[in-house]
Amino acid sequence: MLTLLLHTRCSKEPELNVKNPNKPKETPDNVSETLVLLNSTLVTGGAPSAGNSNLVRSNTKDTIYAIPGVKIPLRFSHPASRKIKGIYVWVKQASVHYDVPISREEESDTVSVVILDINPGNIVLPYDIPVDIIPYDDGHTPMDVLERIISVEKTAEPGCDILVPRPSTLGDTSGTWSPEWFWFATLVFNPNDELTFLNAPGNSFITQTNYEGCCDPNRPQGKCHPLSTTLNANVRAQIAYTIESETFTFFTNGTFARQTYERKQNFNPETTDWCAGIAGYTLSNSLVTYLGSHDYVPGRSTISYGTNYASCDLCGYGSRGGNLTSSCHLLVITRGVDFAKEVRMYVRNSFSSWYD
């Protein structure tokens, strides 16, 4: 049986430029100018105050890792009864803050997304930005406050290559290893660099479908005779597909290990209560391990790979290489797809869950 071992690393200290102690510290206002938030407005003064209500959670725990020029989706989970209209972003001690409208709402109607980019200008990388993120509702009332560090990293940093040694505990079809890169998001941009598609861990693709069936109130549980052709009832069912996680580990010997975890919800007419109009479902989970080889060597700007072994032939999904950009904590694979650009992001040793 193939097994993976999870571990995490410490977060950054909440100070500006702690990674460059020999250079002058930038001012909070100068650092604020390096944030690029889609469709945002720069507002004079600090952000409106908000208490920590735990109403809103984000897909980053303590640190938001960023590379200049790479658009990072920031996802915020909220109650279905209280939508997020936008967020305020304030660099601590700055004299200005950003008012950022939500870029998109996921199909669950409980996750809002904004897009972050970095333009460092003359600021020397790497540097950290301590920020308050304050989501607000339709009435512009602050809902919560999330304290985060935006860690702007250099690419091709010495000692931060994507490869790790392959453990002796991992064979060709069985064994254990520690996953190195955790899927953070997949984005697709059109030729105008506009976001047209977003997927991320836990994001469900939902289809609402009407089904016809038979209701006989005189029979047990309202079920019609198996040979009945009567269609006198209908239900509305919600079909859902979710990728919960994906991990990659690229080894120094030219091999890799990958694992995907998917959840599916399909309509089940046999468990449906046709008389009450309540849909029944079949739920399935699939955890798939893939082992194969890659052609990446340190310093190379592209990667390709192929699978030699998969633990399930009829489940899981494929993955393709492309242009590669990486920092100590971010791995970005980009490729052109039908006049569009697909960007896949992975974070080192950090599972993308929901955090207060």
Predicted pLDDT of residue 120: 96
Instruction: Provide the token pair at 87.
Output: 């967020």
Tell me the mean pLDDT in the region 236-251: 96
- Looking at the DSSP assignment, which residues form a beta bridge with residue 95? none
pLDDT tens digits, one per residue of 196-212: 999 999 999 999 999 99
In three-state form (DSSP H/G/I as H, E/B as E, the rest C), the secondary structure along 89-126 is: EEECCCCEEEEEECCEECCCCCEEEEEEEECCCCCCCC
- Tell me the percentage of the chain whose pLDDT exceeds 70: 91
- Looking at the DSSP assignment, which residues form a beta bridge with residue 334? 323, 343
CA dihedral 152, 129, 56, 104 (to 10 degrees): -50
Whether pLDDT at 16 is above 80: no
Tell me the mean pLDDT in the region 157-162: 88
- Looking at the DSSP assignment, which residues form a beta bridge with residue 260? 246, 288
**Domains recognised in the chain with CATH numbers:** 10-152 (2.60.40.10), 163-205+242-348 (2.40.128)
Predicted pLDDT of residue 75: 96
pLDDT tens digits, one per residue of 280-318: 999 999 999 999 999 999 989 999 999 999 999 888 899
- pTM for the full model? 0.88
Q: 């989706």: which residue's tokens? A: 73
Predicted pLDDT of residue 20: 59
